[in-house]
Amino acid sequence: MFNVSANGATIPAIGFGTFRMPGADVLRMVPAVLKLGYRHVDTAQIYGNEAEVGEAIASSDVPRADIFLTTKVWVDKYRHDDFIRSVDESLKKLKTDYVDLLLLHWPQSDVSLAERIGALNEVRDAGKVRHIGVSNFNIALMAESVSLSKAPIVTNQVEYHPYLDQTAVLDAARKSGMSITAYYAMADGKVVGDPTIKAIAAAHGKSEAQVVLRWLAQQEGVVTLSKTVSEDRAKSNFEIFDFELSPGEMRALHALARPDGRIVSPRNLAPEWD
């Protein structure tokens, strides 16, 4: 298992994502992945499954202190009092007195970024949050967040897969000591069957998914999320630390990026992308 160091945070390089995962699947999968060795679990207020994530962690054999737990504040809770209240609600649902990482879920809002970053710092100062970050921010908003925050910003969670070039965002993050956390790594399933990825996978005796996850984890400062409701697939997704992609293979995967590669861009939430 690799860890990514970012502005004082030590983040397990592969996390288990729970986006669009019903509660019953969360209760089944989270203990299973913790047993497999995962130590990073990612949820959000809007996912509607924080309570199940909390129950699953509490009922597992892995101590809470050994788990890196992330959640995100939804955009309708950005005003200061709503923000603080929502974090308390999240902690109650998650059955914990702190989360390791709290993110602003999307940037678009009528609430000033200064107010939002101020609230992030406040809950961190109160000990409810170990680290703070953002999600779906462009380079300008990342820079503004860093300038507004007393505490270090440790990550920007963004869509990232071989079909989407995030070089500029990665470079900006690295210059600020931040990590990038990649979601939608499988590009909504498009990586499976891709000839380039398939050939690299065959050369290593690995699956396309394993190759893509390894490609992400092998990049400096990149954390990747993996989501599945299959225990077998979760096991396979975790088995990416016993092989290494060559520089040529890394370049071949980067070369798959295309101008229309972005999948997630809700008009009322997304920024102007870089």
pLDDT digits over 124-153, tens only? 999 999 999 999 999 999 999 999 999 999
Residue 249 lies in a domain: no
Q: Where are the beta strands (DSSP E) in the chain?
A: 3-6, 9-12, 14-17, 40-42, 68-73, 99-104, 129-135, 153-159, 179-183, 222-226
* 97: pLDDT strictly greater than 90: yes
Residue 207 lies in a domain: no
Q: 204: annotated binding-site residue? A: no
For residues 211 and 153, give the distance between their C-alpha atoms in angstroms, rounded to a whole number: 29
Give the pLDDT score at 191: 97
What percentage of the chain reaches a pLDDT higher than 90?
Answer: 100
The parent domain of residue 103 ranges over: 3-188+215-231
Partners of 226 in the β-ladder: 16
Give the pLDDT score at 62: 97
Give the pLDDT score at 45: 98
For residues 178 and 40, give the distance between their C-alpha atoms in angstroms, rounded to a whole number: 17
CB contact at 8 A, 138 and 272: yes
Instruction: Give yes or no: 38 in active site.
Output: no
Q: Give Cβ neighbours of residue 8 (< 8 Å, ≥ 6 apart).
A: 131, 152, 154
Give the pLDDT score at 218: 97
Give the pLDDT score at 206: 98
Q: Assign 3-class secondary structure to 116-159.
A: HHHHHHHHHHCCCEEEEEEECCCHHHHHHHHHHCCCCEEEEEEE
Amino acid occupying residue 230: S
Number of domains, the chain: 1
Partners of 158 in the β-ladder: 182
Q: Which of 238, 214, 178 is nearest to 5 (CA)?
A: 178
Give the pLDDT score at 230: 97
Helix axes 208-217, 195-204, angle to 10 degrees: 90
Give the pLDDT score at 186: 98
Residue 40: both structure tokens together: 């990073």
The answer to whether the pTM exceeds 0.95 is: yes
Residue 252 lies in a domain: no
Residue 236 lies in a domain: no
Query: Could you please report the per-residue DSSP string of 97-111?
Result: S-EEEEEE--S--SS
Residue 239 lies in a domain: no
Cβ neighbourhood burial of 259 (10 Å; 0-12, 13-18, 19+): exposed
Q: Which of 183, 188, 169 is nearest to 213 (CA)?
A: 183
* 80: pLDDT strictly greater than 90: yes
* 114: pLDDT strictly greater than 90: yes
Residue 41 lies in a domain: yes
Which candidate in 47, 160, 163, 184 is catalytic?
Answer: 47
Residue 204 lies in a domain: no
* 122: pLDDT strictly greater than 90: yes
Residue 254 lies in a domain: no
pLDDT digits over 1-27, tens only? 699 999 999 999 999 999 999 999 999
pLDDT band at 111, cuts 50/70/90?
A: very high
Residue 257: both structure tokens together: 């990026």
pLDDT digits over 29-63, tens only? 999 999 999 999 999 999 999 999 999 999 999 99
State which H helix or E strand residue 33 sits in: helix 23-36
Identify the CATH number of the domain in which residue 178 sits. 3.20.20.100
pLDDT digits over 175-196, tens only? 999 999 999 999 999 999 999 9
pLDDT digits over 203-250, tens only? 999 999 999 999 999 999 999 999 999 999 999 999 999 999 999 999
